[in-house]
Amino acid sequence: MAILLRSEDKIIVQGITGNQGRFHTGQMVAYGAKVVGGISPGKAGQQVEGVPVFDTVRQAVAATGATASVVFVPAAFAKDAAYEALENGIRLLVMIPEHIPVQDSIDIVTRAQALGAVVIGPNTFGVITPGEKTKMGIMPNHIYRPGPVGVVARSGTLSYEIAFSLTNAGLGQSTVVGMGGDPVVGQNFISVLEAFHQDPETKAVVMVGEIGGSAEEEAAEYVKTLGKPVVAYLAGRAAPPGKRMGHAGAIIERGRGTLDSKERALTAVGVRVVTMPWEVAPAVREILG
């Protein structure tokens, strides 16, 4: 068991012939993901890493029965690609690109909601389920192991750091989900926590948050009913207000989105909040015994 992504999910790659698409298709295939097709208009008939290329999502879905898509197209074309996927029956959509206009992201998540599809990202590293040897995204293959810890993060490399420290401490992961670093993204902590709540394999959850917005504060209310222990590490204590710290969404605006407010909200509902990334694995170890 795991959440969001299962071994049987058939995956297509939109933008498969670009540098990123090509490289990560290889990585996904090597990890064991069922990548059944790729999209690149005008390139039908080619193969990338043994994966057949189609001109349209419509063709690819008809030929392969794919239900999941990971998008690598440039930000300016991402809305078109996302709609193409959603309108053709894709129900798990992972949006890798950074710098997608917020208005486009609003449209994408609104349409996905209406169709009952799940959007992960934009500006995400994706989702990986080590126990089922499948992934959609750009995370390195070798740092994960199957196990009982669910991880939900806003940031890529920081989540790698933490997942790897869990692995090194003998704590494998059920599923690792990247929400994405943009202001508007498909998943929030609550939606991912709800999925972890339903998953019997997940015994504890690690939240990797950061300054900006109020997703952590909103999640705190839900944690009360989660019924599983949560460890949180949040980045950005040293960040000055009004400055965007790399991620479009990582900004303290008009006094909102401070680390202090997030840590207080999570601590109040019994989340074990640690102050440094290397304290996460020991805290999980302590809780799981």
Partner 1 sequence: MKQYEYMAKGRLKERGITVPPGRIADTPEEAAKVVAEIGPSALKAQVLVGGRGKAGGIKFASTPEEAVIQAKAILGMDLKGYRVDRLYVEAKLEIERELYVSVTTDRNAKKPLVMASAAGGVEIEEVQDDLIIRRLVDPEVGVLPYLGREIAEAMNLSLPLAREFSELLVRLYAIYRQEDAELVEINPLVVVDGHLIAADARLNIDDSALFRHPEFELVEEGSALEHTVHQLGLAYVELDGDIAVMANGAGMAMATLDAIQHYGGRPANFLDAGGGAAVEPTAQALSVLVGMHPKAIFINIFGGITRCDDVAQAILQVRRSQGIPVPLVVRLVGTNEQKGVAMLEEDGIAAFSEMSEAAQRVVELAGEGR
Binding site for partner 1 (CB under 8 A): 75-76, 99-107, 109-110, 125, 138-140, 143, 153-161, 164, 181, 183-185, 188, 208, 210-211, 213-215, 218, 233, 235-240, 243-250, 254-255, 275-278
In angstroms, what is the minimal distance from the CB of 20 to partner 1?
A: 8
Residues 6+ apart with CB under 8 A from 268: 220
Query: Closer CB to partner 1, residue 64 or residue 167?
Result: 167
Reported as half-sphere exposure (CB side, CA atoms, 13 A), residue 278 has a value of 0
Query: Closer CB to partner 1, residue 134 or residue 187?
Result: 187
DSSP state of 240: P
Q: How far apart are CA 118 and CA 47, in angstroms?
A: 28
Strand 134-137 and strand 118-120: the pairing is unpaired
> Which of these, 98, 54, 99, 57, lies nearest to 80 by C-alpha position?
57
Sign of CA dihedral 50, 31, 202, 225: negative
Beta bridge partners of 47: 52
Q: Rg of the Cα trace of the chain?
A: 18
Q: Out of 24, 99, 197, 247, pick the active-site residue.
A: 247
Residue 197 annotated in active site? no
Q: How far apart are CA 289 and CA 278, in angstroms?
A: 18
In angstroms, what is the minimal distance from the CB of 234 to partner 1?
A: 9
In angstroms, what is the minimal distance from the CB of 254 to partner 1?
A: 5
Give how far the C-alpha of residue 261 lies from the chain's centroid of Cα atoms, to the nearest Å: 24
Query: Closer CB to partner 1, residue 59 or residue 164?
Result: 164
In angstroms, what is the minimal distance from the CB of 200 to partner 1?
A: 29
Q: How far apart are CA 55 and CA 173, in angstroms?
A: 36
In angstroms, what is the minimal distance from the CB of 212 to partner 1?
A: 8
Query: Closer CB to partner 1, residue 184 or residue 284?
Result: 184
DSSP state of 187: -
User: What are the catalytic residues?
Assistant: 247
